[in-house]
Chain A
């Protein structure tokens, strides 16, 4: 696969704030690559560095195989859709879309043809003669997209383009965006703080935290196999269940130990090399769907709350004074608030992290 964008070890400080800290990644041709992370983690800064609106303190940027680090924005063959202020309010929709072509001195035939074509693709035809400042926000974002589409950049950058759009429209726009991307086959570098949006839109996701890139992978990899406590906490709705404790080894058995609770982790030891975590503080995490009510279960607790989630029940089970875990079940027998239940964890879907470093132990057999 060919890399359209190569980000090589870029860093950027603003005074004492390290906005971007040694970030490297590649975006392949025709994929949707998403930078995902909480607000303030450096996504916008990274995008602006790629666009040439900000200079990195260190590192290089390559677009289409060319080192563009020292080139101004208009020579980089990229276009950016901003979160806000997407259109020139004093121009008509047509003039907005035509802007990039006109400053490049395209012939008026070409301008007209491309503007009309982009407007059709995005369903903007009916607005072409309206004043751009007067139409709805979601339509304005589409105009911004159209403005970028007509100049046919090598890479389309989008910085949280849907955050200001209302929730219902956002849902629809995500779908449309993905369809348009497939149709015109453009390389997209998308920025969002919304994990659902990232999981839905992306071919690959890069999760960022505090200026660092913490994991890159497909949505399924990110969801199923978080490499790091931050990713585990950030991805998934509802979030994972977490239990903190100290990992002890008694004979050949591994146990997560707390004052009020002991959970055997022998199954986990089949997947992970736990030796190095012994006697350290760890965090064990699992998703509600990766556990099941079972009389032979290793963990016991009493039901605090019952939620109906589609065809399943989400049980909030108190397993000790301070620990309440969420478990899904589709078995309705003997389920009532206050009753005692036992449950099992799917061992291949249980994650363990070093609490201090947030890191995961190595897989057995991985070297």
Chain B
């Protein structure tokens, strides 16, 4: 009895510590985003004079420079609009591409046997090495192909890397579809292409949503490759956030404001999609 109480107490302590560990930086960002310059470096959470200046300054670099030029904030010459749009375009396009290609690959991997050693396992190989080692070769390729600092360059890279996740997630969903459903459709006159689009695709819709969301989040927050492969044109949000650094100090306020915007967008998207997720899952659960 006593043991149980202790165990339960311990569990709450662990959960509490973990929650704080995760939530404090978030709370810190929210707090910072609404603080004025004077309060950036003080340790209390609730701003004395909450302000939306930090958000406005993101889109007005002239004003930003005027105010914080003394800190050597020369790097910030672009408003945040373009990186935001870039991130949206690049993330959305590479997610759609990865999920689309992943769906067909997963279907093939689930329903057909590939002879020889070319198993699906091989798709994981590139995921087993630290991404940093790919940077130099990709830099060279991209420079030769003249796609450094382009949307296409990042979309191609991101979708090629994340398609692995799409394949593995979707394969799980396709494996769960009884082959009899496809066979029945064939016997009723459906060609293989029709089976794929009229039977399999609607049934894995929840899988498409799960894979899409996962890949979206992964791509949205990617920094390393974006930092190396972009310069002016295709700068993404995560790269732009890292630019609010002056020679003598960091522009905490605007940086936090942009980080907040960058976090809210996936939350909104995730929340909207979650509705699909729920209906999708329930119909998958009811056995046919």
A: residues with CB less than 8 A from B are 51, 53, 72-74, 76, 78-80, 82, 84-90, 99-100, 103-104, 131-134, 140, 144, 147-148, 151, 153
Contacts and interface: CB of A to CB of B under 8 A. Distances in A.
A80 B184 contact: yes
Given A85-B181, A90-B203, A133 B286 contact: yes
Chain B's interface size range is 20 to 34
Interface in B170-208: 178, 180-181, 183-191, 194, 198-199, 202-203
Contacts of A151: 188-189
Choose among B185, B189, B198, B286 the residue with the greatest number of A CB atoms under 10 Å from its CB.
Answer: B189
A70 B187 CA distance: 15
Contact of A74 (B187, B286, B287): B187
B199 A88 contact: yes
Contact of A104 (B180, B189, B198): B189
Nearest to B190: A103
A103 B286 contact: no
Interface string B251-271: 000000000000000000000
Contact of A148 (B183, B188, B283, B288): B188
Contacts of B183: 51, 53, 73, 80, 82
A161 to B, nearest CB: 12
A216 to B, nearest CB: 25
B151 to A, nearest CB: 36
Contacts of A87: 288
Nearest to A51: B187
A79 B188 contact: yes
A74 B178 contact: no
A74 B199 CA distance: 15
Interface in B137-159: none
Contact of B187 (A73, A84, A86): A73
B188 A132 contact: no
Contacts of B186: 53, 72-74
Contacts of B178: 84-85
Shortest beta-carbon contacts, A-B, top 3:
A100-B188, A89-B288, A85-B178
> For the complex, would chain B's binding face be called helix, strand, loop or mixed by DSSP majority?
helix
B288 A133 contact: yes
A86 B180 CA distance: 8
Nearest to B177: A85
Interface of B: 178, 180-181, 183-191, 194, 198-199, 202-203, 283, 286-288
Nearest to B186: A73
16 contacts: A73-B187, A74-B188, A74-B190, A82-B180, A85-B178, A85-B180, A85-B288, A86-B288, A88-B181, A89-B287, A90-B202, A99-B190, A103-B189, A131-B283, A144-B184, A151-B189
B204 to A, nearest CB: 11
B202 A103 contact: no
A92 to B, nearest CB: 12
Contacts of B190: 74, 99-100, 103
B189 A100 contact: yes
Contact of A99 (B185, B203, B283, B288): B185
Given A53-B183, A80-B183, A99-B188, A133 B287 contact: yes
B12 to A, nearest CB: 40
A78 B191 CA distance: 15
B184 to A, nearest CB: 6
A82 B283 CA distance: 21
Contacts of A89: 283, 286-288
A53 B179 CA distance: 11
Contacts of B287: 89, 133
Contacts of B189: 74, 100, 103-104, 151
A85 B194 CA distance: 19
Most A CB contacts (10 A, CB to CB) among B180, B184, B187, B198 go to B187
A131 B283 CA distance: 10
A132 B184 CA distance: 15
B267 to A, nearest CB: 29
Contacts of A82: 180, 183-184
A173 to B, nearest CB: 18
A272 B229 CA distance: 92
Contacts of A86: 184, 288
Contacts of B203: 88, 90
A247 B76 CA distance: 106
A90 B190 CA distance: 17
Contacts of B180: 82, 84-85
A70 to B, nearest CB: 16
A111 to B, nearest CB: 13
B288 A88 contact: yes
Nearest to B203: A90
